[in-house]
Amino acid sequence: MVIKMKTDRFRAYITGQFLSIFLFGFMMLGLVYSPDTLAVAQISELKLNNAINRAGLQRMLTQRMLKSYAQLGQDQFYIEPDKKLQDAVTHYEQGLNFLKDFEQVPGVKDSLQKINAIWPLYKSMILGEPTRAKVPELVKMNEKLLSLSHQIVLDLENLSGKELGKVVNVSGRQRMLSQRIELFYLLRNWGFTEPYYLDELAKARKQFTEGLKYLNNYQGNTPEIKALLEKAGKSYRLFEHSLDKNGNAFLVSLTVRQLLKYMNDATNLYSKLQK
């Protein structure tokens, strides 16, 4: 009888210890795998690459908005800059809504909050009457929006941890750079010849060349992507000649439109690849 009682107490003790360890482990698992962590873990590679693509498009739209503003300010109406400006604003806001689905990714929510703090004033200014006097302030705000939009792309790329994520980022960045080059070309045309503006134009041209080289060296390029990159290279070489002189705004605009199309198509194809 005594032996049985001791055995029962021993079993109860062991059971209690086991339950304690189990409950502790469960609580720790809850700490490690919070709802946000689990949501991040469930993002597929394809969905993540699509998000990098869409977040990258936000960068391009920041440059397109101000570029269109500069065209309107210089009475360059041949490519409907008023319509393109409104479209860019609409698509940028749609992008902000899209990216809310990725707020659980570390860093993304913080960047979106900072963008939303700037956006109302920027939107009001960019859709207002275009004047040269407002350009410096708009450029300053635009650079902030670009930086925050770029950070979201980097946060998504870091989550990917794969070369393809970086490739989607770089390809999408080429879209932005095509618009940025045209933007600073137009600002130079408008009389903004201070070192900052000229340096940013030169830097964007250099970054585009480096980005194209990186993409051409990617081993996972499909024949269709290779063809698009070749077309982009040819367009850019023509583009470069137009940039060396003022007064070529129409030719620059036509070339950029083709360049943007090639890089947008390439980025969309990259975002659909699965490695």
Q: Is 22 part of a structural domain of the chain? A: no
Q: Is 103 part of a structural domain of the chain? A: yes
Instruction: Please count the structural domains in the chain.
Output: 1
Tell me the one-letter amino acid at 203: K
Q: Is 113 part of a structural domain of the chain? A: yes
Q: Please give the residue range of the domain that contains residue 53.
A: 46-272
On whether the CB atoms of residues 61 and 95 are closer than 8 A, the answer is yes
Residue 48: both structure tokens together: 């993540």
Per-residue pLDDT of the chain (275 residues; tens, 9 = 90+): 444 444 455 454 444 454 444 434 434 434 343 444 545 656 788 889 899 999 999 999 999 999 999 999 999 987 899 999 999 999 999 999 999 999 999 999 999 999 999 999 999 999 999 999 999 999 999 999 999 999 999 999 999 888 999 999 999 999 999 999 999 999 999 999 999 999 999 999 999 999 999 999 999 999 999 999 999 999 999 888 888 888 888 888 888 999 999 999 999 999 999 76
Measuring CA to CA, how many Å separate 251 from each of 176, 226, 235, 258, 264? 19, 25, 12, 11, 20
Please tell me the distance from the alpha carbon of residue 216 to that of residue 234, in angstroms, as a whole number.
13
Please tell me the distance from the alpha carbon of residue 63 to that of residue 142, in angstroms, as a whole number.
8
Q: Is 62 part of a structural domain of the chain? A: yes
CB atoms within 10 A of CB 225: 21
Q: Is 37 part of a structural domain of the chain? A: no
Q: In terms of pTM, does the model score above 0.75?
A: yes
Q: Is 78 part of a structural domain of the chain? A: yes
Q: Is 155 part of a structural domain of the chain? A: yes
